[in-house]
């Protein structure tokens, strides 16, 4: 359930950022430095022509569904829900590392909303490994 809750929170953040890019939320609620707008508006805010925030929102929605399904009593001992979550989480971790590198090193900026996503995907990675260990016992 912790992965489901974490993915829900981060998914809502990603949805907010995507809606901002579409011009549907007014000004971006961020620190006074303007880092959010700068990072979101950079070329690193897009991947293969798709908004990174939209990719995050959809990815976190899929992770949320998988995490909720994994809590069903009939799947308590099944390994496939954890494997499915790992298949989603680990590429997201690598993608997040790429984005944080671009944000900090290339753009020399900071977006608190992006930091929330990075923290949550790291937490999800830790939780999915702990869940796998529990399943192996």
State how far the Cα of 67 lies from the Cα of 127, in Å rounded to an integer: 11
Per-residue pLDDT averaged across 32-41, rounded?
76
State how far the Cα of 63 lies from the Cα of 49, in Å rounded to an integer: 23
Position 42 scores a pLDDT of 87
3-state class (DSSP) for residue 6? helix
Per-residue pLDDT averaged across 19-26, rounded?
87
How many domains does one find in the chain? 1
Show the domain range for 44.
2-136
Cβ atoms 88, 63 nearer than 8 A: yes
Per-residue pLDDT averaged across 88-110, rounded?
93
Q: Over pLDDT 70: what percentage of the chain? A: 95
* CATH code for the domain of 77: 1.20.1440.130
The whole-chain average pLDDT of the chain stands at: 89
């Amino acid at each position: 359930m912790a992965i489901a809750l974490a993915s829900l929170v981060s998914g809502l953040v990603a949805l907010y950022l995507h809606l901002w890019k579409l011009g549907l939320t007014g000004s971006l609620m961020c620190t006074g430095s303007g880092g959010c707008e700068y990072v979101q508006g950079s070329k690193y805010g897009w991947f293969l022509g798709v908004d990174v925030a939209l990719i995050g929102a959809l990815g976190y929605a899929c992770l949320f569904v998988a995490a909720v399904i994994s809590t069903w009593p009939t799947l308590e001992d099944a390994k496939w829900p954890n494997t499915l979550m790992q298949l989603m989480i680990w590429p997201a971790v690598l993608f997040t590392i790429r984005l944080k590198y671009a944000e900090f090193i290339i753009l020399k900026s900071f977006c608190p909303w992006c930091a929330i996503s990075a923290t949550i995907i790291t937490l999800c990675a830790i939780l999915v490994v702990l869940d796998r260990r529990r399943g192996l016992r």
